[in-house]
């Protein structure tokens, strides 16, 4: 599924007695919700209509379908790691109804033809909606602009060279100016390259101890500072992906206070783990950007609590187990995230009291929808007449993440064995139940 057209012939579903939380409208109350032909047709105190399926949702939370604005589906080019079918299956298993895929594919997602390829394949094989984030430069090489306007017209929902930074300041200025005309956001992978050559992990006590080349925080912060400076007069919508450094939160807060359009996202691993995880999990804790220190984790959590970081994104990065079996220096960066994301965010942010459940849902629905302009077609909220993308959450669920929960092609995660709580238990995309725990 790739667009906002409801799936036809999906019948009717009556969800009874859930706590319905819709951050866009501010609704937070016990309601019955009736879904028919892919749309929400009624939200009332009590609905007695007959429906093909009636779901007793007492004690559950009904949220807009979760949206992940940062996933790697590895399709085309690396489908031994993941493809659109397996990646979207992992998505619905995690409660996601929409995902935005990154352009570091082979060939690179930098032409309208590849945007069309992903759309068509997602329509045929996808379990949820798939939207493309197209490359800003050709081949993500940072040398020549990609076909930004044509990709925009083909349906790209944002632009990024993710996996790589736009290194040249001059090219970055051109990218910001060009993307601004599309009304979409540019999403930066913030990595100053000369500081990170050959680095495998955060530059700190653990890298010293292990004799690994360290990756300092400044590699992220320098790019953020540069881009904010460039964007001060351009005012393109600029988004920072997978923020890892606590200092970055301050940079973003300052820019936001100045009125520069900057948003930022945090990932489950950066909200939970530190560089020490490399000692226990080896390559399963090798990330780009790397896991840092406890005060960074604390600052990122506070950044979410203070409303500086307004979007949560997994950076779902599947790799084959053989690739992760390589020595630290040769293994690829990244971990999967879709199946466990909601529960990990809940554990990092809601359980310690940094934010409440409605805020968590906002950070995973309407906020990423706005980042990618999906709110313009009704995605990211629950309303009568709106698209029936819904996620039913059991806030009292208790579970331990195991291999049986990982339904994508890859299982590279250091969170196996973690005891988790609140969890999505049903995922409805375009009025169809696409996943039930
Ligand atoms: Zn990245």
Of 360, 377, 394, the one marking the end of a domain is 377
Burial class (CB in 10 A: 0-12, 13-18, 19+), 210: middle
Do 187 and 281 belong together in one domain?
yes
CA–CA gap between residue 36 and residue 428 (Å, rounded):
12
Task: Give 400 Cα–ligand 1 centroid separation in angstroms.
Answer: 28
- Ligand 1 center–CA 240 separation, angstroms: 9
pLDDT at 373: 98
The domain of 254 spans: 66-377
Does the annotation count 315 as an active-site position?
A: yes
Q: Are residues 164 and 241 both part of a single domain? A: yes
Position 5 scores a pLDDT of: 40
Give the pLDDT confidence score for residue 228 in this predicted structure: 98
Please check whether residues 277 and 423 belong to one and the same domain: no
Residue written as tokens 């950070």? 363
CATH of residue 156's domain is 3.20.20.140
Cα–Cα nearest to 179, from 309, 379, 371: 371
Give residue 11's pLDDT: 84
Residue 429's CATH number: 2.30.40.10
380: left (phi over 0), alpha (psi -120 to 50) or beta: left
Extended strands (E) in 157-283? 158-160, 185-188, 201-202, 214-215, 237-240, 262-266
pTM for this entry: 0.97
Say yes or no: 57 and 76 in one domain: no
Q: How far is the CA of 188 from the centre of ligand 1 (A)?
A: 8
- In the reported structure, the alpha carbon of residue 110 is separated from the centroid of ligand 1 by a whole-number distance in angstroms of 16
pLDDT of residue 324: 96
pLDDT by residue (tens digit) across 236-253?
A: 999 999 999 999 999 999
Identify the burial level of 383 via C-beta atoms within 10 angstroms of its C-beta, where 0-12 means exposed, 13-18 middle and 19 or more buried: middle
Q: How far apart are CA 203 and CA 40, in angstroms?
A: 50
DSSP string, 71-138: E---TTT-TTT--HHHHHHHHHHTTEEEEEE-S-SSS-S-SHHHHHHHHHHHHHH-SSEEEEEE-SBG
CB 60 within 8 A of CB 19: yes
Residue 392: the pLDDT is: 98
Instruction: Please list, in sequence order, all residues whose beta carbon lies within 8 angstroms of the beta carbon of residue 26, skipping any fewer than 6 positions away.
Output: none
Tell me: do 160 and 16 sit in the same domain: no
Whether residue 98 sits in one domain with residue 46: no
Same-domain status, 276 and 210: yes
Tell me how many domains the chain contains. Answer: 2
Q: Does one domain contain both 226 and 329? A: yes
Which stretches of the chain drop beneath a pLDDT of 50?
2-9
Looking at 75, 296, 315, 394, which residue is catalytic? 315
Residue 2 lies in a domain: no
Residue after which a domain boundary falls, among 377, 394, 417:
377
The answer to the question of residue 1 being in a domain is no
Q: What is the dihedral of CA 410, 411, 415, 420, to 10 degrees?
A: 90
Which tokens belong to 403?
A: 């291999």
C-alpha of residue 318 to centroid of ligand 1, in Å: 13
**Ligand 1 centroid vs 134 CA: distance in angstroms?**
13
**Whether residue 114 is found in the same domain as residue 235:** yes
Same domain as 344, residue 280:
yes
Q: What pLDDT score was predicted for residue 10?
A: 55
Domain boundary among 354, 377, 400: 377
pLDDT in tens, 73-93: 999 999 999 999 999 999 999
Q: How far is the CA of 164 from the centre of ligand 1 (A)?
A: 7
Whether 189 and 291 map to the same domain: the answer is yes
Domain co-membership, 52 together with 163: no
Q: Are 319 and 81 in contact (CB under 8 A)?
A: yes
């Amino acid at each position: 599924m790739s667009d906002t057209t409801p799936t036809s012939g999906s019948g009717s579903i009556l969800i009874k007695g859930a706590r319905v939380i819709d951050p866009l409208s501010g609704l937070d109350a016990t309601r019955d919700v009736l879904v028919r032909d892919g749309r929400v047709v009624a939200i009332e105190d009590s609905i007695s209509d007959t429906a093909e399926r009636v779901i007793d949702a007492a004690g559950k939370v009904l949220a807009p379908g979760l949206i992940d604005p940062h996933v790697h589906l590895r399709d085309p080019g690396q489908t031994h790691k993941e493809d659109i079918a397996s990646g979207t299956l992992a998505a619905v298993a995690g409660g996601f109804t929409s995902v935005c895929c990154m352009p570091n594919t082979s060939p690179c997602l930098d032409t309208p033809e590849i945007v069309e390829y992903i759309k068509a394949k997602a329509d045929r094989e996808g379990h949820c909606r798939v939207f493309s984030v197209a490359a800003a430069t050709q081949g993500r090489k940072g040398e020549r602009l990609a076909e930004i306007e044509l990709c925009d017209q083909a349906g790209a929902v944002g632009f990024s060279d993710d996996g790589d930074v736009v290194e040249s300041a001059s090219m970055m200025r051109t990218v910001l100016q060009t993307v601004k005309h599309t009304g979409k956001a540019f999403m930066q992978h913030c990595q100053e390259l000369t500081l990170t050559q050959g680095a495998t992990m955060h530059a700190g006590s653990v890298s010293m101890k292990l004799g690994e080349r360290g990756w300092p925080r400044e590699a992220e912060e320098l790019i953020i500072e540069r881009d904010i400076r460039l964007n001060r007069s351009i005012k393109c919508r600029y988004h920072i992906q997978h923020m890892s450094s606590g200092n970055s939160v301050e940079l973003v807060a300052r820019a936001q206070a100045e009125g520069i359009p900057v948003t930022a996202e945090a990932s489950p691993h950066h909200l939970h783990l530190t560089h020490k995880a490399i000692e226990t999990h080896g390559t399963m804790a090798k990330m780009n950007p790397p896991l840092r220190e406890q005060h960074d984790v604390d600052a990122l959590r506070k950044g979410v609590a203070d409303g500086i970081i307004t979007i949560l994104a997994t950076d779902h990065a599947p790799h084959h187990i053989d690739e992760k079996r390589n020595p630290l220096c040769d293994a690829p960066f990244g971990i999967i995230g879709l199946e466990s994301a909601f529960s990990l965010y809940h554990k990092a942010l809601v359980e310690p009291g940094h934010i409440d459940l409605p805020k968590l849902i906002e950070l995973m629905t309407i906020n990423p929808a706005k980042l990618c302009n999906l709110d313009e077609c009704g995605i990211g909220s629950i309303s009568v007449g709106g698209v029936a993308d819904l996620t039913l959450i059991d806030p009292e669920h208790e579970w331990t993440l195991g291999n049986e929960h990982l339904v994508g092609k890859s299982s590279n995660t250091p969170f196996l064995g973690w005891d988790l709580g609140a969890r999505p238990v049903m995922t409805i995309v375009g009025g169809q139940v696409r996943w039930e725990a």
